[in-house]
Structure 1
Amino acid sequence: MTDSQSADAAQPITQIDFARAGVVTPQMAAVAAAEGREPEDIRAAVATGRIAIPANIHHASLAPAGVGSTLEGVPLSTKVNVNLGISGDLADEALEWEKVDVALELGADAIMDLSNSGKTRAFRRALVEKSPAMIGTVPMYDAIGYLEKALIAITPEDFLEVVRAHAEDGVDFVTIHAGMNRRVIESFKETGRLTNIVSRGGSLIFAWMEATGRENPFYEYYDEVLAILHEHDVCISIGDAMRPGSGYDATDAGQIAELIEIGKLTRRAWDAGVQVMVEGPGHMALDEIAANMKLEKRLCHEAPFYVLGPLVTDIAPGYDHITAAIGGAIAASAGADFLCYVTPAEHLRLPDANDVREGLVATKIAAHAADIAKGVPGARDRDNRMSDARRRVAWDEMFELSLDPVRARAVFESAPPSTEGTCTMCGKMCAMKTVNDIMDGLVVDLDAE
């Protein structure tokens, strides 16, 4: 290698590379502006891994978003992800684009393309080209269709090829289930579970490991995975293959054994100049959530935490966006940085566009409620503006300040009030209108027509 080549190899590529070199990138500046923080505070936290800014060098349409908290422990706003993608049982690309439109309309911070059937690369590339939201994928889902091989015939080199393809296509973060190694599997088998392994990616890797007798390829070849991700500045979202799929299995030996391994993998990724997010549970009782958030932060060195739900009960199919929003609000208020939405269709079928809307709004409510609770700077401002608009009975302002303005206006207009300026809940007995009139010196006579 020549001196010139050596110098080129040392040039910063990833956000964490630049942050450690003392450089505030345009992406860091954008996050600082969006969060109302100083750019230097963002840079310092990115340098240590406390904040991740998933931003593939090929994603030209990206509006960068930060996930995590500053070195002083001041949290960024809680981010929200939408899952979608082409399914083998319902391979309707037009439907998936409808979901994308809903996600972007309602301000999703991230979209994960979980397509798992056929040739998905064209859809993935088009999504990256269109979306200002960060894009995530699970390369393991795509392996069989991309490689056109049976699972047992796939080699570790094949898995790396799929990871490389996703990185080259411009995705900003990839879920890699690298923590479920042989030690974790032994713990799982020894202790047992009610719902076993519910992670789709984790189940596929487990099946491959059992069929081949080999170590998890993403664990065995972790350094090679990191090299690919570093080249394109792809954030690794270390997947929780052993996340609990029922409240009964929460905080068990398998989950914690994997989390310990993920903590080690987090440091290795940072050492390789790769940004990290850590994925978490799952299904979990209310009283276990806060402790799990603290446990992840401790074991994974304060890496940003990305959680699914948690779902706080297992008996609400058709309403799991609510069970997840309850858990998500608690999780984020206790330190989680990123919430993956759950839709009403969870556990039942592939979600449609309306399910996406319902799930995303529920999760955004959870994220925003948590931001108020944990003191994210400026989080309460929008609520205060809404309250002021309600005091003034300024309906158009209320609609615009709503998380879902279209839904809010439609509900209001579905039942026109007989008294102008009110709604049909209280009509002429509207407390806001009554007090406003009195404060303006008017006489209030509710019996008058």
Structure 2
Amino acid sequence: MRIAMIGTGYVGLVSGACFSEFGINVTCVDKDVAKIEGLKRGEIPIYEPGLADLVVTNARDGRLSFTTDLAATVAEAQAIFVAVGTPSRRGDGYADLSYVFAAVDEIAEALTDYAVIVTKSTVPVGTGDEIERRVRARRPELEFDVVSNPEFLREGSAINDFMRPDRVVIGTDSERAQALMRQLYRVLYLIETPIVFTSRRTAELTKYAANAFLATKITYINELADLAERVGANIQDVARGIGLDGRIGRKFLHAGPGFGGSCFPKDTRALIETGRQAGQPLRIVEAVDAINEERKLQMADKIVAACGGSVAGKTIAVLGLTFKPNTDDMREAPSLAIIPALQAAGATVRAYDPEGAKRAQELLTGVIWGENAYQTMEGADALAILTEWNEFRALDLKRVKTLLKAPIIVDLRNIYTLGMMEAAGFDYISVGRPAVEGAATEEGKR
């Protein structure tokens, strides 16, 4: 079988590489000539653990190729995956489907025989119907099916998520399309992965429902974290106490500075707009989106408060810029709101991220860029941890203390224990846990 993967962004490149690892011939198509030429040379435009090896190996073995020629690729494919961007539309937050429809129109002109057009992009309910209408209007003589096959890939864990998914959702009422999709995912059948066949509209809604629910869990634990701080409780223990309930589950109950990335923010907004258009407002999801935006600025206030209520004339060292570790993705990252807020309050910001610094430099101005964690914090008045990269989890605290002007750490990811910070002599502020006045304790000992 031969697959055409339209789009070499995060979803398209990961999906194409993983399908080729299954032994399927995959050709990835993109209009960006420079990107395609780079991929042919083995240059990966995104950071995702394991992806470079997967691309290079399968390209070498002839199962994975890259081109800008959509027409020739589609003409030979039995399945054409649409994996182009669906960013939030300005004004109402609805998904911008212009890239999807542009790709579909080109696909319609290039098809020569029966094929399945598969939406891998995250699209609102009813998009598959519109795709089918557009193709039939252009090529009424063609035999084809339109299938919804949403992705559930976590950045930083995408290869494992594709190879060993919790489930695969496939939306189609066509038996012919179902048979082809079963063949594509045959490897996963062998490891007994649940394959959920639904109607197309149900599959489209399932994707949004999943992301909105996870975003809601994050927002819920963040609000509880604020309450825990007020009443003297520990949110990590609360999360453990409720997460062990099988009805709730432990995942996505980590308090922090709010969610970001390429999916949760835009997908919650698109679902909100879908509800409004259908005359069924989603008030919980609306609250989630609003609270998450407010939270990022609240985290800047937390850093200011830790510095005595003012950061004017002070230098703040920031470790971690990406919205999560193991990715270079800066989309909707909390750092993009927190750092400008600190600068507006008069602070000088020095920052470091293991993989995201290059992209961050395109989005943030006036920041002094560190070469490593320790160089970044040298002479700073306080340290703020915004992303929980592994290399920040075991910092040499004695060295940190000698580098900082004042022993102040604001940990927005709760990666250190309270006891460790107290013993090391830091004033330590985290999220949803009691503040530690380790510096005062150290002074008392002397």
Tell me if both proteins adopt one fold, taking TM over 0.5 as the criterion.
no
Query: When you count helix as a share of all residues, which structure comes out higher?
Result: 1
TM-score, scaled to structure 1: 0.27
